[in-house]
Structure 1
């Protein structure tokens, strides 16, 4: 379900005449408030070790519980994408990032609380300070290093991450 469909009444004045204004917004006929369904920002990290293995996680929670994922998550309010990736990697793996480089972004639908949340997933190449402190935390059930030759995009449960893994495999010499 599109998130805007959850709003039957204007969140400002409470009026029932809160109608679709476009595919991206609803507008109140009473007070004029317009609510846009813009995507939420999310981040994900490509972290390679010295053996040229990629760090992946097993998701501990839905959506896609039990599937593989890259470390990452949603950006918080007043946080840059670079700050978000550093925080998320630390929370999920215990690793501290020493450098961050933008790779690419992909749109995604993240199904949560019975609605589809549009996200813009921002992928980064990250280097970490000390790989030996790796341990799963927060949304990660497990963390492991996987050889690039053994990566299988279909094992990644979130569509944008699966597409990012395909893109990584196809062009890793360009980005890494």
Structure 2
């Protein structure tokens, strides 16, 4: 549950008279402007190679420094989820796939600690397939390691975010049913 407020000053009038009307709504006592906390949309990539291995990263920054992750991040203005998945994959691991390579898989709520506040996110997961992971180039600011792990062996408890672990669990379950 969210506590406190990320809003110290009203974005309309600049006064520091913010009051919580609920856990997601904060109102300026001076001008009445209402500020809402809503989930940020994020795109995450579940990329499998021809051998059924999943591309997994190790995070190079907080939150979740040293924990496992998936290529992904906040969706930019005027960007589709598939475009964001392609961009984040290219930026984080150097794998250049077109947005059309990504297929919607699931959406899951998540929490992301940023600038002293625990923000809600809505993580959109997309799948993609590649022949192999031979030409990856991790961005050291984002990723400290890259793994290609057999899908059934991905350690769910080692993920930085529960949404990532749950998406991988669902993918494992889906693939197990197909065998």
| Corresponding residue pairs, total | 176
Given the superposition, is the C-alpha separation of residues 13 and 76 from structure 1 closer, same or farther in structure 2, using an over 3 Å criterion? same
Task: Find out whether 1:169 has 2:172 as its counterpart.
Answer: yes
Give the whole-Å Cα distance in 2 for the aligned partners of 1:175 and 1:96.
28
**TM-fit CA distance, 1:129:** 7.6
Alignment of 1:119-138 (within 5 A): 119-128=121-130, 131-137=133-139, 138=141
Q: 1:105 aligns with which of 80, 88, 107?
A: 107
Once the two structures are superposed, residues 89-116 of structure 1 have per-residue CA deviations (whole angstroms, 9 ceiling, x without a partner) of 0001111124110000100111122210
* TM-score, normalisation: structure 1: 0.89
Q: State the superposition RMSD in angstroms.
A: 2.3
Unpaired runs of 5+ in structure 2? none
The answer (yes or no) to whether the contact 2:3–2:23 under 8 Å persists in 1 is: no
Q: 2:151 matched to which residue of 1?
A: 148
Alignment of 1:14-25 (within 5 A): 14-25=14-25
> Secondary structure in 2 aligned to 1:133?
coil
Given the superposition, is the C-alpha separation of residues 158 and 70 from structure 1 closer, same or farther in structure 2, using an over 3 Å criterion? same
Unpaired runs of 5+ in structure 1? none
Q: 1:77 matched to which residue of 2?
A: 77
Given the superposition, is the C-alpha separation of residues 175 and 28 from structure 1 closer, same or farther in structure 2, using an over 3 Å criterion? farther
Q: 1 or 2, which has the higher strand percentage?
A: 1
Give the whole-Å Cα distance in 1 for the aligned partners of 2:178 and 2:5.
39
Please identify, of 12-21 and 52-61, the stretch whose mean Cα deviation from structure 2 is larger.
12-21
* TM-score, normalisation: structure 2: 0.87
The answer (yes or no) to whether the contact 2:2–2:23 under 8 Å persists in 1 is: no
Give the whole-Å Cα distance in 2 for the aligned partners of 1:2 and 1:64.
19
